[in-house]
C-alpha cells in the first residue's frame, strides 16, 4: 500500500469525523472502560471514541481497503477486516480522552500504517487546531496538511521548535513499575528542575497535557516503557522526521519502530521503551537518568 496516498485519500473523512467530535464535545457522555483508580487515562472512554472509530472503520470497509486493523476500541466493524496480511493500520480514534471529556482542545486521532511489523507512516489529526501532522519512512521530513478550501489541503514542512524546554510527559502505572524504580527516576528529574507530568496519576494529572502536546511545543519530551503502537510510538516518527531526537532509554535506536515479531520479550505491538525530545540537552539529561 502507498502510505502517503492512503493518507491523502482519507483526509476529508478525518476532517469530517474530527468536526463531528468537536460538535458533540460539550456535554459528551462518558462510558465505562473498567475502573482503575491508578490509571485514569487507560480507563477514559466517551461516546465520541466509539462514534469516530465506527465511522472511520466503516469508511475503510466501504472503500474496500485490504489491510488488517488494530483499533483502540472493541467495536462491531473490527472483526470485518482481514485477519492476515502484511499491512496493518492502527487507529486511536480520540487520543487524549481525558482532555476531550473535560471540553479541552488537546485531543487528536492517530492513524499509523505498518508493513511487515515496521512502522511505515503516521497521520495525526488535531481537530481543534485544524492541522494534520504526518510522516512516512520514505520522506526525509515530516509535514503538516492544513485545510484551505473544501476538500483541499496545503502541505508544508513541519519544523519543530520546542517552546517548553523543561516540561515532559510520562506514563508510570504501578503494574509496570511494581518496585518503584521508575518513580525514583522521576523524582530525580524533578530535583533537576524538570516539570514531569504523569498522565495516569490523579494528583499529578493535567488533562490539558497529552502526547500530542509535543506537536505544538507545549511539552519538550515524552517517555515511557511498554510503548503502545497506537500513539506513543507513531507520534515519535513525526518528531524524529522534524529534527527531534528519538531513542530508547539507553540512547539507542536500532529497530526502534519494529513492533510485531520482536525478539526482546516485549508484548506484541509494543516497544520496550522510548524517549522523544526536541532538545538535545534535555534528551541527554533524560537518558542519563532513565538508562537501564
Q: Give which of 94, 206, 248, 214 is closest to 142, Cα–Cα.
A: 214
Residue bearing cell 481543534? 128
Judged against a pLDDT cut of 80, whether residue 181 lies above it is answered with yes
pLDDT category of residue 32 using cuts at 50, 70 and 90: low
0.85 surpassed by pTM: yes
The pLDDT score that the predictor gives to residue 38 is 57
Q: What are the structural domains, with CATH classification, of the chain?
A: 3-157 (3.30.540.10), 167-290 (3.40.190.80)
Residue 151 banded pLDDT, cuts 50, 70, 90: confident
pLDDT at 268: 87
User: Rounded CA gap, 104 and 98, in Å?
Assistant: 9
Q: Residue 184 and residue 96: Cα distance in Å, rounded?
A: 26
Is it the case that residue 105 has pLDDT exceeding 70?
yes
Specify the 3-state DSSP secondary structure of 82.
coil
Q: Which of 158, 141, 71 is nearest to 111 (CA)?
A: 71
Report the alpha-carbon distance of residue 78 to residue 87 in Å, rounded.
15
Amino acid at each position: 500500500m502507498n502510505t502517503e496516498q492512503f493518507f491523502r485519500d482519507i483526509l476529508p473523512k478525518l476532517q469530517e469525523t474530527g468536526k463531528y467530535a468537536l460538535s458533540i464535545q460539550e456535554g459528551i457522555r462518558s462510558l465505562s472502560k473498567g475502573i482503575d483508580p491508578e490509571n485514569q487515562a487507560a480507563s477514559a472512554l466517551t461516546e465520541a471514541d466509539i462514534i469516530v472509530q465506527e465511522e472511520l472503520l466503516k469508511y475503510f470497509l466501504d472503500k474496500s481497503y485490504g489491510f488488517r486493523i488494530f483499533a483502540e476500541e472493541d467495536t462491531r466493524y473490527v472483526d470485518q477486516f482481514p485477519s492476515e496480511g502484511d499491512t496493518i493500520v492502527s487507529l486511536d480514534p480520540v487520543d487524549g480522552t481525558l482532555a476531550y471529556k473535560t471540553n479541552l482542545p488537546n485531543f487528536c486521532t492517530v492513524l499509523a500504517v505498518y508493513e511487515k511489523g515496521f512502522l511505515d507512516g503516521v497521520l495525526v489529526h488535531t481537530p481543534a487546531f485544524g492541522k494534520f501532522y504526518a510522516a512516512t519512512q520514505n520522506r526525509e521530513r515530516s509535514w503538516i496538511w492544513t485545510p484551505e478550501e473544501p476538500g483541499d489541503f496545503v502541505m508544508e514542512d513541519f519544523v519543530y521548535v520546542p517552546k517548553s524546554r523543561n516540561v515532559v510527559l510520562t506514563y508510570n502505572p504501578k503494574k509496570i513499575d511494581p518496585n518503584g524504580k521508575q518513580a525514583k527516576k522521576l523524582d530525580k528529574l524533578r530535583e533537576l528542575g524538570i516539570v514531569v507530568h504523569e498522565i495516569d496519576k490523579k494528583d499529578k494529572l493535567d488533562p490539558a497535557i497529552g502526547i500530542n502536546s509535543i506537536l505544538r511545543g507545549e511539552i519538550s519530551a515524552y517517555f515511557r516503557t511498554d510503548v503502545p503502537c497506537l500513539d506513543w510510538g507513531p507520534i515519535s516518527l513525526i518528531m524524529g522526521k522534524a529534527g527531534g531526537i528519538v531513542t530508547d532509554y539507553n540512547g539507542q535506536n536500532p529497530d526502534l519502530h519494529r513492533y510485531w515479531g520482536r525478539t526482546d520479550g516485549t508484548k506484541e505491538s509494543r516497544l520496550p521503551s522510548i524517549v522523544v525530545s526536541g532538545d538535545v540537552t534535555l534528551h541527554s539529561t533524560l537518558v542519563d537518568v532513565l538508562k537501564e
